Amino acid sequence: MTERIGVYPGTFDPITLGHMDIIGRGAKLVDRLIIGVTTNIAKSPMFDDDERIAMVRREVAVLGGDIRVVGFNSLLMDFAESQGAATVIRGIRGVTDFEYEYQLTGMNRQLNDRVDTIFLMADVALQPIASRLVKEIALYGGDISKFVSPAVRDEVSARVLANARSGDR
């Protein structure tokens, strides 16, 4: 029997409880889940690639199973193929996400029709969580503990404090 490998891509800047929900459920659908940590050139990351990879590795270590974290900087379909994946897992929070992901999936199918996409709806309690909003709340001194793990909260708070001290606000 062929091993079922799936890829869950994202910037994870920072990794949220919503991401963790999708990772935990996605890992049950495949034999191996590769979490692909990438940089979205349209976003300004708070953490660099190595920091985000380390953060994701630490967070998923508690889940068990065959979950691997790999950085990539290429087209998603090329990355999926290089990992031997036949499935891409994407989290959907709402209608806006669905419209974007639907279009992206259509484009990806044109690039590589050997890789299918599975959409997982975020848990209802976690649907509003977005890394972008977590960073914004933190930058304005808000409490992000409902959206990220305690370790990630501490890392984000430390980064916000360091940036404030250096005048990088």
Which candidate, 21, 20, 70, places its Cα nearest to that of 49? 70
Q: Is 109 a catalytic residue?
A: no
Determine if residue 120 is left, alpha or beta; phi over 0 gives left, psi from -120 to 50 gives alpha, anything else beta. Answer: beta
Which of 90, 131, 135, 159 is the catalytic position?
131
Q: Is 28 a catalytic residue?
A: no
46: DSSP letter: S
Q: Is 19 a catalytic residue?
A: yes
Residue 67's SS3 state is strand
Selecting among 32, 93, 109, 157, the annotated active-site residue is 93
Q: Cα separation of 17 and 14, whole Å?
A: 10
- Residue 97, CB-side half-sphere exposure with 13 Å CA sphere: 13
How far are the Cα atoms of 52, 64, 135 from residue 72, in angstroms, in the given order?
12, 23, 23
Contact 169, 138 (CB under 8 A): no
- Give the tokens for residue 120: 């997982």
Known catalytic residues are: 19, 43, 93, 131
